[in-house]
Amino acid sequence: MARPDKVSEVEALRDRLGRAQTIVLTDFRGLTVGEIGQLRAKLRAVGVEYRVVKNRLFRIAARDAGIEGLDGYLEGPTAAAFGYDEPVAAAKIIHDFIRQMRKLATKGGVIDSRVVTAAEIKRLAELPPRQVLLAQLVGGIASPLTGMMTVLSGVTRGLVVALDQIRQQREAA
Q: What is the DSSP string of 19-50?
A: H-SEEEEEE-TT--HHHHHHHHHHHHHTTEEE
CA atoms within 13 A on the CB side of 120: 12
So what's the pLDDT on residue 172? Answer: 86
Q: So what's the pLDDT on residue 29? A: 86
Q: What is the pLDDT along the chain (173 residues), one digit of tens a residue?
A: 578 888 899 999 999 988 988 999 999 888 889 999 999 999 999 999 999 999 999 999 998 888 888 888 898 899 999 998 887 888 999 999 989 888 888 999 998 888 999 899 888 888 877 777 788 788 888 777 777 778 778 878 888 888 889 989 888 87
Give strand pairing partners of 117: 108
pTM of the full structure? 0.72
- At 135 the pLDDT is 83
